[in-house]
Structure 1
C-alpha cells in the first residue's frame, strides 16, 4: 500500500554487498547470460592484469559439470596479510569490500582493466558459493563465502550446511607449497536467485574472448577446459600468440589485402587532477602526470566492410570512446592531406572524402594503455578520458603520413593502391547516391529508368509486393502467366552472374546483371544501402532445382550478402522451393486423377511406398522436372508462386562473422581453404544428393 507520507524512516541504506544483490544490473549490466559472462571476465581479467604486469604466463579456465567455474593462475597471489585500516586479510578485503583493491594508484599496477575495485566482490555477492585458494609465502591459504559472507561449508557442495564466522573471520591454511610458488585459484557457483534460469556460460563467447586476450598479451597462454558434457567428455582449447595485435589484425581481416599490416606506435603525456588517498585516510585532489601508450595495427583490404576493435589496458571498448575518436580524427586528417597532394593524379576534382570512404575495407586493432582511465559505467564499454583523443590522433596522423610519403618501393606501391581504392570508394558513393535518387518507385504517369526486362507489379504497397529473380528467359515466359500481377514482379537473369566475392566494387557495378538487380531493388548498395528505400517487401530467388540452379542461387546470395546485407538481416530474402517430381495418382471409380508433387528423392520414395500400401496406382513415367521452364503456368503457380500453397525458405544470417568467413572460403580468391573444405567434407555428402 502506497501512502502519501514520506519521511527519513522510509529511506533504506544498503550496506556492503547488499546493494549489489539488490541492484545487480548496476554492476554487471543484466542478470541473463551476458551478466553471467561479465562476472566470469571480472575474475579472469584480474589474472590477465597480473600477466600484463609480467607476473604469470598461463591462465586456466575450467567449466565444471556441476555448473561452477574455476579460474587458475600462477601470478603473485592475492595478499594474505592484514590490511591495516579494516583489520581484515587481503583476501577478505578483495572479496567483501566494494571499491577495494590494488588498482587505485598504489603502485601495484601501472595499467590495468579493473579500475573500480568491485569486480571480485561483485562476483562474490552474486555467487551461491565462492572458494578461493592462494599460494603465497610457502603455504596454501583458503577462504569460502556464501552470497558474500565468509564462513565454512560442511563439504564441497554449495548446498551443504554453512556456518558463518561469528566474531572474526579466519583465513585458514590448507597445505604447503614450494618456495617461490605463487598463484590464485577461484571457483564459484553463480546464485540462481539472481540470474535467470536460462543464463549459461557460452563456450563460443568464452573462446572468442580468450583468443582476443591472447592476441593482446603476447606470450600469455589461456586454456579453456569444458567438462559440462558427460557423454562427449571434456574438451580443451588453448590460445597463445607471440605476434601481438599485428597477428590479431590479420586474423580479423575478412578480405584479401591491399596493404600489409601497418603498425603505428607512440605515446604522449598529459596532466590530470585526481583524488589521491593519503596516509591519513583523506582523499586530496592532486595534479598528476600521466603517460598514454598507443599501439595500432591496421590494414586495408579489397572489401568495403570496416572492422574496428578498440581496447584500453586490454579491456574491450565495443562502443568506442575518446581513443577511437582520436584514431578517426588522425586518420581523416592525414589521408585527406595526401589525397589533396595527389589530386591531379587521382582525378579527385571538387569532391570531398568522407570517413566511410577512408575506412572502407579497413581492419584495425587499436590499443591504448594508461593508468586509471575514466570509463563510462562499470561495464567499461566507452573510454571517457579526454586527453587520450589528441594523443591518439597525433600518433596516427604521424604514422599514416610517414607511410603515405615513404620513398621505399613497397610503401610507395601500397600507398598508391590505397589512395586509388579510397578515391574509388568516394566516387562509388557519389555515384550510388545519385543512382539511388533516380530509383524511387515510379507511377504510370512518370518516366522510368528501370531495366526493360523487369516485369513490374501494379501495387505501390512495398510490404505486400514481391520481386522474383528468375533464372532464364524460358522460365520468365511461364512465370508471367503464373504470377499475381498485382503484387508479384519478375526480373530474369541470364546464366550465372558475376562472383562478387572475387570482383571489385567497380567490376560489380559495371556487370549488367548485378547492376540490374541493384537498380530494381532500388535501395543502393554497400555502405549507401538504405533498407527503407527498398521497392519490394520480399526478394525471392527462383532457380531450377538442379546443380546449376543451386550455383546461381549461391551467386545471388553472395551479391545480397556482400552488398545488400540489411535485406537478409531483416528477413526479406527468400529462396523458392520448386518441386522435383510430379506424380499423377489414378482416380478410383469416377473420381478424377490426383496430382501430387514431391521435393526430394526421399520424399518421392516415401510417397510411392505410401500409395502402394494403400493400393493406389500412379501414371508412369513419373515426371522429373529439370527446370522451371518444363512446368506450365498452372503447375508453377500452384507449387512455387501462389501464396496459398507455395514453400519458401527464408535466408537468415544468425552469425554475420561466421557467414562472412564461409562466403570468403567458398567464393573468394584463396583456393587452398576451399579445396581442403571440399576434401574433408566430402564424406558428409551422399551420392543420392548429387543431381548428375
Structure 2
C-alpha cells in the first residue's frame, strides 16, 4: 500500500538553508536586530562604522553623510579606500568578500593592529548585510590611482567591477544605497537619528568632522559636528558654566583576559566627568559605539563611584548615626560622565552593539576609577566636600520623598474600598467601627455558608485560603511575602507592630485605624479547624499583639453535636453538654444525636443561631495567656524539638486516641 504524504510532513527533505542575499533579506531581524525602522537605522551605522575606523586610524578627518529626499543614504570617507580588486590569497575579488560574503573583511588579522587596532565595525557583517538589504547599492572607491565602481540591485551584482584610472589625489570610499521596503517595513529614517548619531560620533572621535547633508525641497542643508578634545569638551558643554566641579579627563591602557583560558587583549580606557546640581547625564561608548544599555562600563562606574564617595563620607564623619549608605541613584543624580573605551577584543551582548559584557573591561575600569577617585578626593578637598554634600542631599531628599510617598499611599489606600483589593473579602454595610465584626473563616465553602447566614449590616467575612504560614517559626521575609497574611492585615487596617525592613510596605501599627470592633475566628470543630485557628492566633500574636491584649480577638464556638427530638433541636458544644441534655431534658426519650458537620455544610438558619446571632452565639474572648499557652503547645507539636514532641505524645497521647484516624 502506498504511504500517504501530508503537506505538513516533516522529513529529511524538510531541511533547507538560506543562501546568498536571502540570508539577510528573509531574516533581517537576525542581523540588524529588527526588520523595522530600527534595523534600517542600524544598517546605516554599519556603513558609518567602517568610515569611522578609517578616520580613527589617521586616514581622513572628514566623514560626510547625505540624507536624500527619496530616502536613500550616502556615506563618504576620505580614508585609504576599501580594497575591491583581485585577492590572490583568497582567489576572489575583494569586492566579493566585502559586499557578498558575511563574516569577511579587513579586521580578521592574526595579530592586534594588522589593519585596525580598535575596530567598531568588527564582525564583517555591515557592508555585505547592508548591500543585501538594499533596493540598490552603489560603491565608488578611490585608491591606488584608480576609481572602482560597483552596482548592486536587491543583493545581486550588476555589471561587475568597473575600474578606470584616476588622476586625482583623493582617496576613500563612497557608498550610496536605498534600503529595500521588501526587507524593512519602514525606511523613512528621521533627521533626528542622523543628528544624534553624528554628534555622538564626533564626541568620541576627537578631531574628526562629521558632516550631515540633508536634502529638503531639492536643496541641501549642511550641519557639522566636531569636538577637538573629544569627551571633555562634550562634558563641559553638557554641564554648562554652573557645575559643582570642573570637568576632569582620565585615561589609561591595560592588558588582560576575560577568563584564564581566553587570549589576552588590550583595552584603552578614557573617562571625563564633573558633578552638577542641575544637570545629570551618563553615556558610555565602546570602540565608538554608543552603549545604550551599558553593560561592563556601566557596572564599573556604579561600583567605583559609590564605593569612593561612601568611603569619603565615612572618613569625614558626614553620615548621621545609623544613617543608611548612599546608593547609585544618589550619585547618578548629580553626575555628568562620559566614558569612551576601546578594546582589541569586544564581546557585544548582540549584533546591535548596545551593551558589552567583557569581564576584563569591567574589572580594569573599576580598579582604575577607584584608584583615580581616591587620589582626586585627596588632591581636591573642596571639590570632594561639594560632591559628598550634594550626594548626601540627594540621598536624604530621596529617602524623605519615599517616606512621604509611602505615607500618602498608605493613607489613600486606607481610604479605598478594600473589598475591591482583597480577593473574596466580603465587607459589611455600616461604617460605624463600634458595630463592625469581622469573621475569619476557613475556605470557600465556609465563606458561602457564613455569607448566607450573617447580618450584612455589621458582619464582614474574610476567608483564609489554605493553611496559613506558621508565624511562630517563619522569618519576617517569608511572613510578608504571604498573600494570605498581607490580605488579612489589609482588611484589619491597623498595620503591624513590627520594626523590620521586610515590613516596609505595611503601615505602622495604629489601633485607631482598626476597622472592626470584634475580630472573630470561626473554624470547624475538628483537628484541622483547631490548627488553622491556632495559626491565625499565632499570626495576630506576633504581628498585632495589642489586638489580643485590648480584647478585640474572639473565637466563635461551633457546636460538636446536634440533638433532635420531635421538632426541637438542641446544640451541645462539648461531650459534657451532650450528656447533660440527653440525661436531663431528654432523659428516657428516643432522640437523634448527630455529630455537627463542617461550617460549609451547615444550613444558614443553624449558622445564624449558633455562630452569628449576638443573642445566641458563643464567643470566647482570647486573652494573651491563652495565645502564649497555645503557641507553646503548637511549637511543641510542630516545631523543631523532636525529643520534646516524642515525650509529650508518650505522656499525653492516650487522652486523644479516640480522635486519631486509625483503622
Q: Shorter-normalised TM-score: what interval?
A: 0.5 to 0.7
Instruction: Name the residue aligned to 1:208.
Output: 196
State how far apart, in whole Å, the 1-side matches of 2:28 and 2:59 are.
Answer: 31
C-alpha contact 1:317 1:382 (8 A) present in aligned 2: yes
Normalising by structure 1, report the TM-score.
0.57
Q: Distance in 2 between matches of 1:178 and 1:199?
A: 35
Are residues 1:355 and 2:328 paired? Answer: yes
CA drift at 1:318? 0.5
Match of 2:373 in 1: 400
* Partners of 2:79 and 2:172 within 8 A in 1: yes
Cα distance in structure 2, aligned partners of 1:205 and 1:94:
26
> Do residues 195 (structure 1) and 184 (structure 2) align?
yes
How far 1:258 moved relative to its partner?
1.2
- State how 1:159-198 maps to structure 2 within 5 Å: 170-178=160-168, 181-196=170-185, 198=186
Correspondence for 1:288: 263
Matched, 1:248 2:238: no
Q: 1:445 to 1:312 in 2, by over 3 A?
A: closer
- What CA distance in whole angstroms lies between the structure 2 residues aligned with 1:189 and 1:379? 20
Cα distance, 1:416–1:84 mapped onto 2, change above 3 Å: same
Q: Residues 413 and 92 (structure 1 numbering): CA distance in 2 closer, same or farther, change over 3 Å?
A: same
Shift of 1:373: 0.3
Give the SS at the match of 1:102. coil
Superposition map of 1:73-92 within 5 A:
73-84=77-88, 86-92=90-96
Partner deviation per Cα, 1:554-600 (whole Å, 9 max, x = no partner): xxxxxxxxxxxxxxxxxxxxxxxxxxxxxxxxxxxxxxxxxxxxxxx
> Aligned equivalents of 2:193 and 2:242: distance in 1?
26
State the alpha-carbon separation in 1 of the partners of residues 333 and 414 from structure 2: 39
- Is 1:114 aligned with 2:121? yes
1:170-210 deviation per Cα after TM superposition (whole angstroms, max 9, x unaligned):
3221441335x3211111121121122x5312111201111
Any unmatched runs of 5+ in structure 2? 422-504, 507-663
Counterparts of residues 360-509 of structure 1 (less than 5 Å): 360-406=333-379, 411-440=380-409, 442=411
| Cα deviation, residue 5, structure 1 | 2.6
Max radius of gyration: which structure? 2
Q: Secondary structure at the match of 1:51?
A: helix
Is there any run of 5+ residues in structure 1 with no aligned partner, and where? Answer: 153-169, 275-285, 447-456, 463-531, 534-692
**What is residue 605 of structure 2 aligned with on the other side?**
none
Give, in angstroms, the shift of residue 57 of structure 1: 0.4
User: Which residue is equivalent to 1:220?
Assistant: 208
Contact 1:62 1:227 survives alignment (8 Å): yes
Give yes or no for the alignment of 1:123 onto 2:126: no
Residues in 2 aligned to 1:361 and 1:375: alpha-carbon distance in whole angstroms:
29
Say whether the 8 Å CA contact 1:63–1:228 is kept in structure 2: no
| Contact kept in structure 2, 1:335 and 1:401, CA below 8 Å | no
Q: How large is the Cα RMSD of the aligned pairs?
A: 2.8
What is the rounded CA distance, in whole Å, between the counterparts of 1:202 and 1:214 in structure 2? Answer: 19
Match of 1:147 in 2: 154
Instruction: Supply the distance in 2 between the matched residues of 1:234 and 1:80 (Cα, whole angstroms).
Output: 31
Quote the offset at 1:255 in angstroms: 9.1
Query: Does 2:18 match 1:41?
Result: no
Checking the alignment, whether the CA contact within 8 Å between 2:179 and 2:187 is kept in structure 1 is: no
Matched, 1:133 2:140: yes
Distance 1:348 1:130 in 2: 67
Counterpart for residue 320 of structure 1: 294
Q: Distance in 2 between matches of 1:443 and 1:189?
A: 56
Q: Is residue 267–residue 395 contact of structure 1 (8 Å, CA) maintained in 2?
A: no
Cα deviation code 1:72-119 (max 9, x no counterpart): 111011113322454222222111100001122341010111121100
What TM-score does the superposition give when structure 2 sets the normalisation length?
Answer: 0.59
Structure 1 range deviating more: 345-354 or 430-439: 345-354
Do the aligned partners of residues 299 and 360 (structure 1) sit closer, same or farther apart at CA in structure 2, a change above 3 Å counting?
same
In structure 2, distance between residues paired with 1:249 and 1:445:
47
